[in-house]
C-alpha cells in the first residue's frame, strides 16, 4: 500500500466508522490524485455520503486515517479542514435563505473568517469583482440582490456550487449535484461542473450514469461500506461484482 | 464534616438521609416521568409542568375535604380516588393546552418554552384566586401515619414507603405503555417522523394530544403523591421545575431508565449533603455538579449515537 | 447594494425618534419619581438589546441573563456599600468599617474578594470583565460541544437558579435575601436626591444608546450576516470555514456585558441590588421584554422593555391579581399571534400605510414610528 505518496492529494486508508456497532463505512481505502475527478457510485445506504461526512469532519472516524496534503483530517475541526483546502456541497441544497445571493457568496469569500475578521470585514473592490465573477459563472448575475430563499431548487444548487467555488478549494466534494434538476438545468450544471473541475481534485457522488460517464476520471463503487470496485467507467461497468450488486437482487 | 459522629451513627445518618432522599426521588421520578414523555418523546418544553403537578395536589386536597365531610368512614381510601381524579384533571387540562397552544409550536421548541411559561403564570394566579395564597395541607389517613423501626437508630415513615412504591409502580406502567404497547409505538413513530407516521395512517394530531395529556396526567399523580410529604401552595410547582428538567436532561432525554437513574443520584446527593451542609449549599453543590457534568457530556448519561 | 451607509434612512429616523422620546419627551412629561421609574425600565432594555443579538440574531436563547444583570448590579452595589460603610458611619457595629449585613452575620473582617471594590476603577472594570469571563466559560463549555437551543436554555436557567440560591444562602457575604441596601454616595456624590436620579437617568440613556450603536455595528458587519447564516444553516457556515462556536461565544459575551452594564445602572438608580432580580423569574421576563419588542429588532427591544414594565407597574398598582394573567397572556400571545413583536406589527401594518401616505402627500413628514 502506498503511504503519503506525494502524487496523491488525498489518501484515505482503512477508514471505518461505526454507529452503535453498525459499520456504515468499513475499512475503506482510496487515493485521489491532483486534478482527478473521482465519482463514487453505489446503491442506497452504501456509505457514500458518510465518506464525504468523514472527510470534511462532520462525522468522526472510529478508525483509519484521512490524509490531505500532509494534514490528518480525522483530528481537525470542520473549519480547519475548510481552510486546509477542502470544500463540500451537500445533497439537499444548503444556502442561507434569509440572506441575498450576494451575501451568500460574500460569506464564503475566503477572508475575514475569524470573529474579529468578520467584524472588520470590508467589501472592497476585490471582493466585489470576485463575487460578480462567480455569479456570472453560476448563471445568477441578475439575482445578486434577491433573497436566496426565493431561488428555484436548481438555482440554489448553483448558488451552493458558487459558494464552494469562491472558496477555491483544492479538493471539492459534491453530493449529487444534479439531483432534482430539470433536464435543462441538468445540462447547464454538467457544463458548469465540467468547467470548474479542471484545476482541482473533485469527488462527486452521483446516480446519473450518463452524467458520471461524462465527467469521471475514475469511478469507485461502494457497497455496504466497502469498496467493491475501482477504475475507469468502462472497467467498473464490466466488473461482474458490480453488475451483481446493481442487478443481482 | 464527618468528625464528631461515630461509625454506627454515620451509618444511621446515611440510611435516614438516604431514605429522606428516596421520598425526594419519588417526587422527582413522578414529575420527571411526565416530562420525559413530553420533552423526551415530543421535544416540547413544558415550563408549566410544575403547575400541572400542583393541580393534581389541589384536586387531592379537595377530594380529601370532600371525604372528610361526606364520607368520613371511607377516609382511609380517599387517596386512591384522588389519584385517579388528579390524573384526569391534569390530563384533560393538558389535552386542552395541547390543542390551544402546543400544536401550533411543534417546530419552534424555544417558543413553546415561553408560551408554557406564560401558561404557568396564569395557572399560578388561578390557583391563588381559587384556593388562596396560603398553603393547604391534607390530613394523611391514619394507616399511612407512623413509621417502621428497622433498627434502634433507623426508622422509616410509612407514607414515604407508600410514595416510593407508587413512583415505581407508575414508572413501570409508563414503561410498558411507551415501549411495549402499540400506542407507545405510535407515539414514537410520530415523534421520530411526523410526516411519515401520518402517511402510514397514524392520526398524528390525536396521538400528540393524548401523549401530552398523559404526560400532564402523570404530573397530576405526582401532585397527589406530593401532598403526602408537603403542603401545597400556588407556586409550589415552580420550585421543582428546574430540578425536574435537569433530571430529565441529565438522564438523557429519551431514556426512561436514565431518567430514573438520574433522579436517584440527584435526590440522594442532595439529601445526604443536606445533613452536613446547609440546605441551600447542598442544593447549590448538587446543581453545580449536574450542570458541570452536562457541560462535559451534554447528551446526558444515557444516549444513543446516531448516524447524522 | 454593495456599498451601504451605516444606517439606512428608516433606521436613522427610528433612532432619532427613540432618542427624542428618551432624551426629551420623558424628562419633560414625567415627574421625578416616574422618570426614575422609567430609568429603571430602561436598565432592562440593556438586557433586551443583548438578547436581540444573542437570540434574535444568533438563535441562542439564554434564560440566565438575570445572572449577568445581577453580576453588574452586585459589582456596583459592593462599591457603593463599601463607600457607605466608613468606620464613622458604622461606629455602632461590633466591627466598624465593614458592611452592616456582614456585621450582623458575625463576620469580623472584609473578605478578600470584597477588597478590590474599594476602587471605582476596578469596579467599572469588573462590571465589564466579570460577566465577560463568566459567559466565556459557559459559552466555551457549551458551544464548543455544540450544545444549543433548548439544552442551552435549560442549563442557563439552572445557572440562574444556582446563582439565586447561592446569593440567598451566603448572606454574610452577599446580604442574603435582602440584597445590598442602603447605598448612599458614588465617590462622594449623593445618589439619593431627585436631581442625582435625573442625572443618572441621562447617563443611563447615553449608555443605552452606546449599546444600541455597538449592537447595530455588529449586526451590520459581516459578523451579523454570519449570525443570520448560522441561524439558517449552521452546518453550511461551518463548511464555509467558520468556527461557529467562537462566533456564538462572542455574541453571548457581548449580550452578557450589556446586561451587566444595565445591572450596574439599575443599582445606581434604584439604590439597592437583591437576588430577586437575578433568579429564574426575572431572567425569563427579560426574554419577554425582547420578544414583545420583536426579537429581531434592536429598537423594538427598548420599546418592549419600556412597555412591559410600564404595564406591570400600572396594572399591579390598580389590579394586582390581574397582572400575572396579563403577563402570562402576553407570553402566549407574543409567541402564537405576533412572534415578531411590536416591530413585526409595525412592519406589517404601519409601514405599508406610511409608504402609502408618503406617496399621497408627497413631502409630508411621517408619524412617529414604533420600531425600526
Residue spans of the domains in chain C: they are 9-279
Query: Using the beta-carbon criterion (under 8 Å), do C165 and B113 form an inter-chain contact?
Result: no
Query: Using the beta-carbon criterion (under 8 Å), do B280 and C169 form an inter-chain contact?
Result: yes
Residue spans of the domains in chain A: they are 2-247
Cα–Cα distance, C349 to C353 (Å, whole number): 7
Residue C256's nearest CA partner among C204, C210, C289, C211 is C211
Query: Using the beta-carbon criterion (under 8 Å), do A79 and C235 form an inter-chain contact?
Result: no
Q: C5 touching A, CB under 8 A?
A: no
Cα–Cα distance, A134 to A168 (Å, whole number): 11
pLDDT for B83-135, tens place per residue?
A: 999 999 999 999 999 999 998 988 888 888 889 999 999 999 999 999 988 88
For residue A91, the distance in angstroms to the closest alpha carbon of chain B comes to 13
Nearest by CB: C242 against A79, A90, A94: A79
In this structure, are residues C180 and C78 in contact, taking their beta carbons and an 8 Å threshold?
yes
Selected residues 289-308 of chain B with any CB under 8 Å from a CB in chain A: 304-308
Q: Interface of chain B against chain C, CB under 8 Å? A: 43, 45, 101, 104-105, 108-115, 117-125, 128-129, 238, 242, 245-246, 249, 278, 280-281, 283-284, 287-288, 290-291, 294-296, 298
pLDDT for A70-125, tens place per residue?
A: 889 999 999 999 999 999 988 888 899 989 999 999 999 988 889 998 998 988 88
Q: Is the pLDDT reported for residue B165 higher than 90?
A: no
Residues in chain C with CB shorter than 8 Å from the CB of B101 are 332, 336
For residue A50, the distance in angstroms to the closest alpha carbon of chain B comes to 9
Query: Considering only alpha carbons, which residue of chain C is nearest residue A102?
Result: C2
Nearest by CB: B298 against C147, C288, C331: C147
Query: Considering only alpha carbons, which residue of chain B is nearest residue C55?
Result: B110
| Average pLDDT along chain C, 372 residues, taken 10 residues at a time | 62 91 92 93 96 90 95 96 89 87 89 93 96 94 83 90 91 90 90 92 96 94 92 88 93 96 96 92 92 91 94 85 87 88 85 76 46 39
For residue A47, the distance in angstroms to the closest alpha carbon of chain B comes to 11
What is the pLDDT, as a whole number, of residue B16?
72
Cα–Cα distance, B60 to B221 (Å, whole number): 9
pLDDT-above-70 percentage for chain B: 94
In this structure, are residues C85 and C99 in contact, taking their beta carbons and an 8 Å threshold?
yes
What is the pLDDT, as a whole number, of residue C361?
63
Q: Is the pLDDT reported for residue A133 higher than 80?
A: yes
- Within a 10 A sphere around the Cβ of A19, how many other Cβ atoms? 15
What is the pLDDT, as a whole number, of residue C368?
43
Q: C239 touching A, CB under 8 A?
A: yes
* CB-based burial label for C313 (10 Å; 0-12, 13-18, 19+): middle
For residue C152, the distance in angstroms to the closest alpha carbon of chain B comes to 10
Chains with at least 3 CB pairs less than 8 angstroms from chain C: A, B
Number of A–C residue contacts, CB under 8 Å: 94
Q: A126 touching C, CB under 8 A?
A: no
Q: Is the pLDDT reported for residue B304 higher than 80?
A: no
Q: A56 touching C, CB under 8 A?
A: yes
Q: How confident is the model at residue B301 (pLDDT cuts 50, 70, 90)?
A: low
In angstroms and rounded to an integer, the radius of gyration of the C-alpha atoms of chain C is 22
Average pLDDT score, chain A: 87
Cα–Cα distance, A239 to A131 (Å, whole number): 44
Going by their DSSP bridges, the two strands A22-32 and A226-231 should be labelled as unpaired
Query: Considering only alpha carbons, which residue of chain B is nearest residue C154?
Result: B245
Residues in chain B with CB shorter than 8 Å from the CB of A22 are 307
Nearest by CB: A115 against C231, C233, C247: C247
Cα–Cα distance, C149 to C144 (Å, whole number): 14
What is the pLDDT, as a whole number, of residue B254?
67
Q: A49 touching B, CB under 8 A?
A: no
Which residues make Cβ contacts (< 8 Å) with residue C34, sequence separation at least 6?
A: none
What is the domain class of A2-247 according to CATH? alpha beta
Alpha carbon C362 to chain centroid, angstroms? 40
* CB-based burial label for B105 (10 Å; 0-12, 13-18, 19+): buried
Residue C225's nearest CA partner among C87, C350, C58 is C58
Ramachandran assignment for B125, one of left (phi > 0), alpha (psi -120 to 50 degrees), beta (any other): alpha
Residue C79's nearest CA partner among C186, C235, C201 is C186
The CA-based diameter of chain C, rounded to the nearest angstrom, is 76
Mean per-residue pLDDT, B194-206: 81
pLDDT for B240-271, tens place per residue?
A: 888 888 888 888 766 778 888 888 888 888 88
Query: Using the beta-carbon criterion (under 8 Å), do C231 and A120 form an inter-chain contact?
Result: no
What is the pLDDT, as a whole number, of residue C28?
92
Q: What is the total residue count of chain C?
A: 372
pLDDT for B47-74, tens place per residue?
A: 999 999 999 999 999 999 998 888 888 8
Query: Considering only alpha carbons, which residue of chain C is nearest residue B116?
Result: C332
What is the pLDDT, as a whole number, of residue B1?
57
When comparing pLDDT for B253 and A19, which is higher? A19
Q: How confident is the model at residue B303 (pLDDT cuts 50, 70, 90)?
A: low
Nearest by CB: B114 against C161, C168, C291: C291
Amino acid at each position: 500500500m502506498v503511504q503519503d505518496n506525494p502524487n496523491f492529494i488525498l489518501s484515505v486508508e482503512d477508514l471505518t466508522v461505526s454507529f452503535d456497532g453498525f459499520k456504515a463505512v468499513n475499512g475503506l481505502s482510496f487515493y485521489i490524485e491532483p486534478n482527478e475527478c473521482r465519482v463514487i457510485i453505489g446503491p442506497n445506504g452504501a456509505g457514500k455520503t458518510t465518506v464525504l461526512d468523514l472527510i470534511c469532519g462532520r462525522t468522526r472516524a472510529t478508525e483509519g486515517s484521512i490524509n490531505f496534503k500532509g494534514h490528518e483530517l480525522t483530528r481537525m475541526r470542520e473549519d480547519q479542514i475548510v481552510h486546509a483546502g477542502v470544500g463540500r456541497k451537500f445533497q439537499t441544497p444548503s444556502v442561507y435563505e434569509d440572506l441575498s445571493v450576494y451575501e451568500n457568496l460574500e460569506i464564503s469569500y475566503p477572508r475575514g473568517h475569524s470573529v474579529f475578521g468578520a467584524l472588520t470585514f470590508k467589501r472592497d473592490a476585490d471582493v466585489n469583482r470576485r463575487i460578480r465573477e462567480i455569479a456570472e459563472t453560476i448563471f445568477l448575475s441578475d439575482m445578486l440582490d434577491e433573497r436566496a430563499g426565493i431561488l428555484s431548487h436548481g438555482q440554489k444548487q448553483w448558488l451552493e456550487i458558487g459558494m464552494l467555488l469562491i472558496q477555491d478549494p483544492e479538493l471539492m466534494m459534491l453530493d449529487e449535484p444534479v439531483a432534482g434538476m430539470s433536464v435543462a438545468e441538468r445540462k447547464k450544471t454538467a457544463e458548469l461542473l465540467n468547467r470548474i473541475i479542471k484545476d482541482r481534485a473533485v469527488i462527486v457522488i452521483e446516480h446519473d450514469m450518463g452524467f458520471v460517464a461524462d465527467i469521471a476520471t475514475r469511478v469507485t463503487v461502494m457497497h455496504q461500506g466497502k469498496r467493491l470496485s475501482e477504475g475507469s467507467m468502462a472497467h467498473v461497468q464490466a466488473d461482474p461484482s458490480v453488475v451483481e450488486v446493481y442487478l443481482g437482487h | 464534616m464527618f468528625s464528631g459522629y461515630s461509625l454506627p451513627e454515620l451509618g444511621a445518618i446515611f440510611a435516614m438521609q438516604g431514605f429522606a432522599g428516596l421520598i425526594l426521588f419519588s417526587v422527582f421520578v413522578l414529575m420527571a416521568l411526565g416530562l420525559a414523555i413530553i420533552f423526551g418523546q415530543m421535544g416540547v418544553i413544558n415550563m408549566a409542568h410544575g403547575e400541572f403537578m400542583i393541580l393534581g395536589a389541589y384536586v387531592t386536597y379537595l377530594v380529601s375535604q370532600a371525604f372528610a365531610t361526606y364520607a368520613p368512614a371511607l377516609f382511609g381510601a380517599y387517596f386512591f380516588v384522588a389519584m385517579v381524579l388528579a390524573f384526569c384533571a391534569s390530563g384533560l387540562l393538558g389535552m386542552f393546552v395541547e390543542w390551544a397552544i402546543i400544536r401550533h409550536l411543534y417546530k419552534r421548541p424555544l417558543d413553546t418554552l415561553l408560551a408554557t411559561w406564560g401558561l404557568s403564570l396564569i395557572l399560578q394566579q388561578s390557583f391563588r384566586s381559587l384556593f388562596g395564597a396560603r398553603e393547604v395541607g391534607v390530613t394523611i389517613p391514619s394507616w399511612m401515619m407512623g413509621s417502621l423501626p428497622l433498627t434502634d437508630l433507623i426508622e422509616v415513615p410509612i407514607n414515604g414507603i407508600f410514595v416510593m412504591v407508587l413512583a415505581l409502580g407508575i414508572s413501570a406502567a409508563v414503561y410498558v405503555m411507551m415501549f411495549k404497547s402499540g400506542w407507545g409505538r405510535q407515539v414514537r413513530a410520530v415523534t421520530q417522523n411526523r410526516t411519515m407516521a401520518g402517511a402510514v395512517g397514524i392520526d398524528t394530531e390525536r396521538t400528540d394530544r393524548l401523549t401530552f395529556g398523559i404526560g400532564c396526567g402523570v404530573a397530576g399523580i405526582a401532585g397527589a403523591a406530593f401532598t403526602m410529604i408537603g403542603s401545597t401552595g400556588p407556586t409550589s410547582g415552580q420550585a421543582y421545575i428546574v430540578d425536574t428538567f435537569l433530571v430529565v436532561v441529565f438522564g438523557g432525554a429519551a431514556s426512561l431508565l436514565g431518567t430514573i437513574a438520574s433522579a436517584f443520584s440527584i435526590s440522594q446527593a442532595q439529601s445526604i449533603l443536606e445533613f452536613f451542609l446547609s440546605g441551600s449549599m447542598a442544593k447549590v453543590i448538587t446543581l453545580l455538579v449536574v450542570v458541570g457534568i452536562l457541560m462535559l457530556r451534554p447528551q446526558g448519561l444515557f444516549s444513543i449515537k446516531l448516524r447524522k | 447594494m454593495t456599498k451601504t451607509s451605516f444606517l439606512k434612512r428608516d433606521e436613522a429616523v427610528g433612532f432619532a425618534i427613540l432618542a427624542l422620546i428618551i432624551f426629551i419627551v420623558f424628562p419633560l412629561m414625567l415627574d421625578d419619581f416616574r422618570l426614575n421609574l422609567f430609568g429603571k425600565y430602561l436598565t432592562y432594555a440593556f438586557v433586551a438589546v443583548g438578547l436581540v443579538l444573542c437570540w434574535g440574531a444568533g438563535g441562542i436563547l439564554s434564560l440566565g441573563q438575570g445572572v449577568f444583570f445581577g453580576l453588574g448590579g452586585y459589582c456596583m452595589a459592593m462599591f457603593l456599600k463599601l463607600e457607605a460603610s466608613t468606620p464613622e458611619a458604622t461606629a455602632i457595629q461590633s466591627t466598624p468599617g465593614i458592611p452592616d449585613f456582614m456585621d450582623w452575620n458575625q463576620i469580623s473582617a472584609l473578605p478578600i474578594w470584597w477588597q478590590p471594590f474599594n476602587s471605582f476603577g476596578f469596579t467599572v472594570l469588573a462590571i465589564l470583565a466579570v460577566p465577560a469571563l463568566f459567559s466565556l466559560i459557559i459559552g466555551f463549555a457549551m458551544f464548543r460541544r455544540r450544545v444549543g437551543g433548548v439544552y442551552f436554555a435549560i442549563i442557563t436557567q439552572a445557572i440562574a437558579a444556582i446563582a439565586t440560591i447561592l446569593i440567598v444562602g451566603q448572606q454574610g457575604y452577599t446580604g442574603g435575601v435582602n440584597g445590598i441596601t442602603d447605598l448612599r454616595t458614588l465617590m462622594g456624590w449623593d445618589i439619593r436626591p431627585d436631581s442625582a436620579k435625573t442625572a443618572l437617568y441621562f447617563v443611563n440613556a447615553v449608555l443605552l444608546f452606546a449599546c444600541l450603536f455597538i449592537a447595530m455595528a455588529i449586526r451590520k458587519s459581516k459578523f451579523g450576516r454570519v449570525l443570520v447564516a448560522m441561524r439558517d444553516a449552521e452546518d453550511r457556515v461551518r463548511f464555509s470555514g467558520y468556527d461557529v462556536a467562537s462566533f456564538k461565544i462572542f455574541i453571548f459575551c457581548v449580550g452578557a456585558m450589556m446586561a451587566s452594564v444595565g445591572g450596574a445602572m439599575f443599582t445606581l438608580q434604584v439604590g439597592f441590588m437583591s437576588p430577586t432580580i437575578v433568579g429564574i423569574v426575572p431572567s425569563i421576563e427579560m426574554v419577554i421584554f425582547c420578544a414583545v419588542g420583536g426579537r429581531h429588532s434592536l429598537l423594538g427591544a427598548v420599546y418592549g422593555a419600556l412597555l412591559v414594565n410600564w404595564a406591570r407597574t400600572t396594572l399591579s398598582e390598580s389590579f394586582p391579581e390581574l397582572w400575572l394573567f396579563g403577563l402570562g397572556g402576553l407570553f402566549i400571545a407574543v409567541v402564537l399571534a405576533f412572534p415578531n413583536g411590536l416591530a413585526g406589527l409595525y412592519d406589517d401594518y404601519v409601514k405599508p400605510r406610511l409608504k402609502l401616505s408618503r406617496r399621497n402627500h408627497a413631502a409630508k413628514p411621517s408619524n412617529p414610528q414604533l420600531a425600526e
